[in-house]
Amino acid sequence: MSSLTKVMVSPHIHSGKSTSGIMGDVLISLLPTTVAGTLIFGWRALLVVAVSVLSSVGFEALFNYIIKKEQTISDLSAAVTGLLLALNLSVDIPLWQCVIGSLFAIVVVKCLFGGIGKNLVNPAITARVFMVIAFSSVALPSFPIDSVATATPLSAETMPSLLDLFIGNRGGAIGETCTVALLIGGIYLIIRRVISWHIPVTFIGIVFIFSFFMEGFNATEAISLIMSGGLFIGAFFMATDYTTSPSTPWGKVIFGLGAGLLTCLIRYFGIYPEGVSFAILFMNILTPYINGWTRRKVFTAGGNK
């Protein structure tokens, strides 16, 4: 053999998993929700999605270009952030506010902290919280185009029917109303092993239990409440963000329970009608501590040295 072959330390094979593959799976899992949002709220929903995704990717590319960092947009994480942000916004939002939200999510929350994997809090959630506080229009509910529903359930006098809540025929952000689409996407992610069941199940479970007690042991009411607001999109897609949620199964359980409890406390006792975003944001900050508390015991630990 004439030429030399490459020498490298083992392992010499790889599972083939990649960051862009994982992010691609998340994009696929959000497809049903995006389609449902467009059907429920009309074509402008797609426009909001497009502006948000394009500006998110654009800002990341621009940031990397300016600080002369290797381009990272091909890992698709900026696209995921843009899509999640859009799905958390009202369909009537002015497009310039979308752009500002993307700028905040990508540049302030993510890139300034060092880019993917380095951010302390979830970019899309934090940008939504920022926008809720900065622009009143985000918090305003939007309404299905062909519906008689008049208000987002959590601030309304009467709740929509369970069927309407399940298929998303109610007021709310573009991607948070269609429970069935979110469930399909969430199950897809669990099957593909992108996320585990721990956070969504504990998060939604504790909200159900808490609401069940608060509503005087009314199961129908409790089911309505878990399908309201942004709980499903939050529990399956935002709270499971790798970087800002714990990595061990027990850590995930603590995270889910904490986020669920905070959501209920804000819903029942806070000044905002919805608390999912705030709850996740708060648990994001606790994540490094939860990781520390739930570190696994090393197999070879114990015994005398």
Which residue among 30, 106, 117, 127 contacts another protein (CB under 8 A)?
A: 117
With beta carbons less than 8 A apart as the criterion, state whether 101 and 128 touch.
yes
Shortest Å distance, C-beta 69 to another protein: 10
CA distance 95 to 138: 11
User: Does 9 sit near another protein (CB under 8 A)?
Assistant: yes
Which residue lies nearer to another protein by CB, 113 or 272?
113
Please name the residues in contact with 43: beta carbons below 8 A apart, sequence gap of 6 or more. none
User: Does 19 sit near another protein (CB under 8 A)?
Assistant: yes
Which residue among 91, 116, 239, 254 contacts another protein (CB under 8 A)?
A: 116
Q: Give me the sign of the Cα torsion angle 269, 273, 275, 276.
A: positive
CA distance 158 to 154: 9
Stretch that binds another protein, among 7-15, 29-37, 86-94, 144-152 (CB under 8 A): 7-15
Residues 181-220 interacting with another protein (rule: CB under 8 A): none
With beta carbons less than 8 A apart as the criterion, state whether 123 and 110 touch.
yes
**Binding string to another protein for residues 223 to 252, with x set by CB under 8 A, is what?**
-------------------xx--xxxx---
Stretch that binds another protein, among 140-148, 162-170, 278-286, 291-299 (CB under 8 A): 291-299
Stretch that binds another protein, among 14-22, 47-55, 203-211, 218-226 (CB under 8 A): 14-22
Long-range CB contact pairs, 144-148, < 8 A, 24+:
144/40, 144/41, 144/168, 144/169, 144/170, 144/171, 144/177, 145/40, 145/41, 145/42
Stretch that binds another protein, among 57-65, 69-77, 97-105, 224-232 (CB under 8 A): 69-77
Q: At what angle do helices 19-29 and 179-191 cross, to 10 degrees?
A: 150
Shortest Å distance, C-beta 107 to another protein: 17
User: Does 94 sit near another protein (CB under 8 A)?
Assistant: no
Which residue lies nearer to another protein by CB, 11 or 216?
11
Shortest Å distance, C-beta 152 to another protein: 33
CA distance 68 to 104: 20
Stretch that binds another protein, among 113-121, 141-149, 177-185, 205-213 (CB under 8 A): 113-121
- Looking up tokens 């862009």, which residue turns up? 20
CA distance 120 to 287: 9
User: Does 68 sit near another protein (CB under 8 A)?
Assistant: no
Shortest Å distance, C-beta 80 to another protein: 11
Closest CA relative to residue 100, chosen from 85, 87, 121 = 85
Interface with another protein (CB under 8 A): 1, 3-19, 21-22, 72, 75, 77, 115-118, 242-243, 246-249, 295-303, 305
